[in-house]
């Protein structure tokens, strides 16, 4: 009986010390936000390489090369499509407090992803247009590259904001 009381007292003391120390409540789910943000950043980098390659290739394509440009447009549309789901998964991986901390940045990221959706639809439409001009794909790839640069920069700022050490004032009494 004494052991049960001692263990109960120890548990109560541990709980009280944890409360006094000001530590937050134990999370019900593991923090996957950093991994999700890193994965999203890697996807931006991979897609940026594709966009750059398409910009370089379409820069020299003649209007008679519409079939080749359509194939590239189809491939690019397929590569852009997963970004929306990845952004949703990354958003879901962030806690409410993390989202509150980076809300202005995250709103910008949401606008970038709305742009990705619009660009993906335009690129997909080009892929099914037999009379497309490679210059149209070139222009969309340039726009995608700029949007990816913007989103990657915002992603880095979000990571920096979430990993910055929290300054705590030291009180000397």
Mean pLDDT by 10 residues, the chain (173 residues): 47 46 54 90 95 92 86 94 94 93 94 95 93 92 96 95 76 67
Element (H, E) at 149: helix 134-163
What does the pLDDT read at residue 11? 44
CB-neighbour burial class of residue 111 (10 A; exposed 0-12, middle 13-18, buried 19+): middle
What does the pLDDT read at residue 112? 94
54 in Cβ contact with 72 (< 8 Å): yes
Q: What angle do CA 160, 164, 168 make, to 5 degrees?
A: 160
What does the pLDDT read at residue 166? 66
121 in Cβ contact with 31 (< 8 Å): no
pTM of the model: 0.76
Instruction: Write down the domain spans for the chain.
Output: 33-163
Q: What angle, rounded to 10 degrees, do the helices at 66-80 and 82-93 form?
A: 20
CB atoms under 10 Å from CB of 34, counted, come to 13
Q: Supply the DSSP string of 80-99, one letter for each residue.
A: HTHHHHHHHHHHHHS-HHHH
What does the pLDDT read at residue 32? 84
What does the pLDDT read at residue 74? 94
What does the pLDDT read at residue 14? 46
Topology (CATH) of 33-163: 1.20.120
């Amino acid at each position: 009986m004494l052991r049960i009381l001692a263990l109960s007292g120890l548990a109560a003391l541990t709980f009280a010390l944890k409360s006094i120390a000001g530590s937050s409540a134990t999370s019900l789910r593991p923090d996957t936000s950093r991994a999700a943000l890193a994965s999203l950043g890697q996807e931006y980098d991979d897609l940026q390489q594709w966009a750059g390659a398409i910009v370089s290739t379409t820069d020299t394509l003649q209007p008679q090369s519409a079939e080749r440009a359509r194939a590239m447009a189809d491939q690019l549309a397929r590569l852009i499509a997963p970004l929306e789901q990845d952004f949703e998964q990354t958003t879901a991986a962030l806690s409410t407090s993390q989202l509150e901390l980076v809300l202005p940045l995250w709103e910008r990221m949401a606008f970038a992803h709305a742009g990705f959706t619009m660009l993906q639809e335009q690129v997909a439409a080009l892929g099914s247009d037999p009379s497309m001009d490679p210059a149209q794909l070139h222009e969309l790839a340039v726009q995608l590259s700029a949007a990816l640069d913007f989103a990657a920069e915002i992603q880095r700022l979000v990571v920096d904001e979430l990993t910055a050490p929290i300054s705590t004032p030291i009180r000397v009494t």
